[in-house]
Structure 1
Amino acid sequence: MKIGTEGAYPPFNNLTADGQLVGFDIDIANALCAEMKVTCEFVTQDWDGIIPALQAGKFDAIIASMSITPERAEKVDFTNKYYNTPPAVAAPKDTTIAGVSKADLAGKTLGVATSTTHYNYAEKTYTDSTIKGYPSSKEFLLDLANGRLDAVSDDISVLEGWLASPDGACCKLVGAITPVVEIHGPGAGIAVRKGETDLVNKFNAAIDAIRANGKYKEINDKYFKYDVYGGEG
């Protein structure tokens, strides 16, 4: 089975300098494939084209931190969530931004990855801010570090990982955003082509199995200090 992922979203999926795919999504995918007794091969794909590539048969499933949303569910079928962490905002350490409300970010330039729930939320919520779209989180984090942005928004786990690295020493977490289910969905799921119910059921059974047998916790604890599976819904 071929698994599509982005490879530009640490700590979830990332290509190392020597071309190795690493991260939480990758370890979870490998664990699910082992549970399903199938051999899996990864295909990297730019985020903006990842759903069309699935539909075109370039791979059989997307395991790339894709939030389950009604808009995407019109194009693909989703499994149950395999993690659910809130969005957040980060800014330089000397920022005057005190929170994550519309008023807090008024007049500021916010960097966000396009074609993401974070971008959709920013466009709808921060109407008094300039929203600058990027192909992936790597680009906007670089611009934030170089002083070209006032703030950025992404998954809290992504931002915390970056802030703990030397590259993120410039900046701090301003606060977490309370997810809006209509925009953010119930969490990140695995996407397959429409109508592939059998594959969805197999993935769901495998997710339940690795949650129950401790494999999920083992992978979770390698990357995070808390359970990223999150609460229900």
Structure 2
Amino acid sequence: MKKLLAALTVALLATVSIGAHAKDWSTIRFGVDASYPPFESKGPDGKLVGFDIDLGNEICARLKAKCVWVENDFDGMIPALKAKKFDGVLSSLTITPQRAEQIGFSAKLFDTPTRLVAKKGSTLQPTPESMAGKSVGVEQGTIQETYAKTNWQPKGAKVVPYQNQDQVYADLVSGRLDAALQDEVQADLGFLKTSRGTGFQFVGNAIPSGAAAIGLRKEDTDLKAKIDGAIASMLKDGTYKKIEKKYFDFDVYGE
């Protein structure tokens, strides 16, 4: 009898264990920092819009899942993902070795470089020597913050982190910053080609950034497989290109 009870207990625990790990992805929650147009921002009606938003909604549609968007400051994305506040980070998140130690990533979504922005006529260059003694604004938690603090700060640059990209541009326009470092496409379409970007320009050459993808918890391998399949099918049937053309007149996917 004891052996039978032990066997039943083991079987029951196995069933509970399997049930605990089986996940229902009928709803997928994506974390987003809505201060990075044209990738993610808020429209006049307060609704989330942008390239990443459209990609995420299309992925959910292909997986027959409901998309729920959870707004979060960018520098808190990875801790919030690990704490299960949402299931994925879909917010122009670049793959880096440091991030890959903490989380997993989907297949690539796009690949765009980093650029420095300053006033028109500025002689600044994105080099340690040129940035010495200058103040540069970055969004907290971004690869641009890491780059500036690693390469420029030791040579005397003042790197000023902000909670979101809108705050970076506000202080750049007001003159409290000498320059801002961010994604090239975001700076071009989300700042330089808008009214508040009048009087500013890119300075120096582009800095390679690497591919952006959806950040995922490492243990959610089933969700990664589903999302990767959806991305692959979007690329294959032309849906990715169709969405891309809504925002860009050039290829953001890269090689």
Check whether the contact 2:76–2:141 (CA below 8 A) recurs between aligned residues: no
C-alpha spacing 1:176/1:30, structure 2 compared with 1 (3 Å): farther
Q: Give the Cα–Cα distance (whole angstroms) in 2 for the partners of residues 104 and 78 of structure 1.
A: 35
Q: Give the Cα–Cα distance (whole angstroms) in 2 for the partners of residues 60 and 2 of structure 1.
A: 5
1:153 to 178, 181, 186: 181
* Residue 70 of structure 1: aligned partner: 97
* Residue 59 of structure 1: aligned partner: 86
Check whether the contact 1:25–1:65 (CA below 8 A) recurs between aligned residues: yes
Amino acid at match of 1:191: G
Amino acid at match of 1:47: F
Percent identical among aligned pairs is 39
Check whether the contact 1:6–1:44 (CA below 8 A) recurs between aligned residues: yes
* Residue 212 of structure 1: aligned partner: 236
- 1:1-233 matches, cutoff 5 A: 1-97=28-124, 99-126=125-152, 127-128=154-155, 129-161=157-189, 162-179=191-208, 184=209, 186-231=210-255
Check whether the contact 1:156–1:176 (CA below 8 A) recurs between aligned residues: no
**CA deviation vs aligned residue, 1:37-94 (integer Å, no higher than 9, x gap):** 2221111111122222222222111111111112112221111210110000000113
Amino acid at match of 1:121: Y
- Aligned to 2:196, the other structure's residue is in SS state helix
Q: Return the TM-score normalized by structure 1.
A: 0.91
Which consecutive aligned stretches of 4+ in structure 1 deviate over 4 angstroms post-superposition? none
Q: Give the Cα–Cα distance (whole angstroms) in 2 for the partners of residues 33 and 176 of structure 1.
A: 37
Check whether the contact 1:13–1:22 (CA below 8 A) recurs between aligned residues: yes
Amino acid at match of 2:187: L
- What is the CA RMSD across the aligned residues, in angstroms? 1.4
Residue 177 of structure 1: CA displacement? 2.9
**CA deviation vs aligned residue, 1:163-221 (integer Å, no higher than 9, x gap):** 00001012011134332xxxx4x311111112111111111111111111111111111
* Number of matched pairs: 225
C-alpha spacing 1:176/1:204, structure 2 compared with 1 (3 Å): farther
List runs of 5+ in structure 2 lacking aligned partners. Answer: 1-27
Check whether the contact 1:53–1:59 (CA below 8 A) recurs between aligned residues: yes
- Aligned to 2:224, the other structure's residue is in SS state helix
Q: Return the TM-score normalized by structure 2.
A: 0.84
List runs of 5+ in structure 1 lacking aligned partners. Answer: none
Q: Give the Cα–Cα distance (whole angstroms) in 2 for the partners of residues 56 and 212 of structure 1.
A: 34
Q: Give the Cα–Cα distance (whole angstroms) in 1 for the partners of residues 206 and 148 of structure 2.
A: 11
Residue 15 of structure 1: CA displacement? 2.1
- Aligned to 1:19, the other structure's residue is in SS state coil
| Structure with greater helix share of residues | 2
Q: Give the Cα–Cα distance (whole angstroms) in 2 for the partners of residues 209 and 89 of structure 1.
A: 35
